[in-house]
């Protein structure tokens, strides 16, 4: 499902699972997926604080992510071990290859193991996500343009996969919120 240059991910996943078990068997209850530049210092930080204050164990990646082409095995493991994911869609979410690969893993877990997915549409309409239109669609086109320059065959594969995934999640019942800056 992910780029072929993943290396020996299975061994790394086994190692990470062992490390997870050593860390007091504490799994995350919620995985937050968001585009940092859009919502990290605003909506997502408030959502994270509210969930933590309610006693919910939340995975929120605060480190600046490497600009690699694949999500790390540790993030995939965090998604798999969290029964719920909250996906905060924002105007530039679809410009991040990392966010879309995270989303694909989240939706794979939804389809295969019943992972609960709660989309939040932050200053973007669900139909923009479902049909890749408006500012959200423009961000998606910018990403596809970058991939197209790398490898035409990969671009077609990811374009089809991500369009299907975005269409699927865009049809979920969700929370819509407007930016407080408006």
- Would residue 102 show up in a list of annotated catalytic residues for this protein? yes
Spatial strand order of the sheet with 116-122 comes to 58-59, 30-34, 84-89, 116-122, 175-177
128 neighbors 137 (Cβ within 8 angstroms): yes
31 neighbors 57 (Cβ within 8 angstroms): no
76 neighbors 106 (Cβ within 8 angstroms): no
Residue tagged active-site, from 95, 102, 104, 128: 102
The two tokens of residue 28 are 């995350």
List the catalytic residues: 102
């Amino acid at each position: 499902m992910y780029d072929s240059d993943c290396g020996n991910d299975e061994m790394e996943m086994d190692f990470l699972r062992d490390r997870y078990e050593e860390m007091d068997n504490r799994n995350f209850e919620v995985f937050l997926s968001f585009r940092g530049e859009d919502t990290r210092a605003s909506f997502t930080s408030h959502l994270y604080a509210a969930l933590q204050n309610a006693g919910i164990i939340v995975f929120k990646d605060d480190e600046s992510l490497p600009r690699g082409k694949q999500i790390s095995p540790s993030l995939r493991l965090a998604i798999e071990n969290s029964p719920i994911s909250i996906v905060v869609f924002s105007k530039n979410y679809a410009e991040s290859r990392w966010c879309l690969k995270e989303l694909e893993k989240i939706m794979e877990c939804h389809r295969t193991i019943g992972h609960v997915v709660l989309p939040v549409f932050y200053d973007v309409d669900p139909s923009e996500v479902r049909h890749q239109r408006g500012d959200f669609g423009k961000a998606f086109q910018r990403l596809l343009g970058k991939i197209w320059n790398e490898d035409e065959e990969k671009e077609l594969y990811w374009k089809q996969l991500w369009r299907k995934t975005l269409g699927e999640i865009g049809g979920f019942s969700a929370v819509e919120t407007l930016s407080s800056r408006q």
